[in-house]
């Protein structure tokens, strides 16, 4: 049986692991966006499919896999499809990198913690909103409400991240 530890240590497996993580980060959102849109909020913002693969990668692969995949996937997606729009791709990149970094830190410190995904996403949203504040696209006073609204909109995705985190914590 192949153990998680051996996957994290085997240097040769990291390139295919990163490619598989990037592929999952491209395919899952594409499939989710095939679901008919109900309402003004994109289905991806509700279900958070691009965050599933880095969460799994944090648990199974070398730390660099999730971070590299998080850094390059929005740019690859933009180059291939023109989506998301460039400003959103930048914000999404910040969110994904923070998400992966926080998930790595939490998972290493508390390997059995079953809320890794939602906690990492909450911190990722803070990072993207700080970026919005610095860019001037969102007034600083509106950031707390925007953070809470983002979490409420993403509640279905947070539940999915919780289920994935729970499964990963029991392996």
Choosing among 1.10.1760, 1.10.3210, 3.60.60, 1.10.3470, the CATH entry for 4-169 is 1.10.1760
Which tens digits make up the pLDDT trace of 55-78? 999 999 988 999 999 999 999 999
Q: Are 68 and 81 in contact (CB under 8 A)?
A: no
Domain ranges of the chain: 4-169
Pairwise CA distance, residues 161 & 159, whole Å: 5
Q: How far apart are the first and last CA of the chain?
A: 13
Pairwise CA distance, residues 130 & 127, whole Å: 5
Residue 132 pLDDT grade (very low, low, confident, very high; cuts 50, 70, 90): confident
Helix (H) or strand (E) holding 92: helix 86-109
């Amino acid at each position: 049986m192949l153990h998680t530890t051996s996957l994290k240590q085997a240097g040769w497996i990291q390139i295919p692991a990163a490619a598989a993580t990037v592929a999952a980060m491209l395919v899952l959102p594409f499939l989710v966006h095939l679901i008919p849109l109900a309402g003004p909020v994109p289905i991806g913002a509700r279900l958070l499919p691009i965050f599933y693969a880095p969460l799994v990668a944090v648990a199974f692969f070398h730390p660099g896999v999730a971070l590299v995949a998080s850094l390059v996937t929005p740019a690859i997606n933009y180059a291939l499809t023109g989506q998301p729009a460039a400003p959103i791709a930048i914000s999404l990149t910040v969110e994904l990198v923070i998400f992966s970094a926080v998930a790595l830190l939490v998972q290493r410190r508390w390997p059995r913690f079953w809320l890794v995904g939602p906690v990492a996403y909450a911190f990722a949203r803070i990072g993207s909103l700080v970026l919005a504040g610095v860019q001037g696209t969102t007034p600083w006073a509106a950031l707390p409400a925007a953070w809470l609204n983002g979490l409420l909109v993403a509640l279905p995705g947070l539940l999915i991240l919780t289920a994935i985190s729970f499964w990963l914590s029991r392996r």
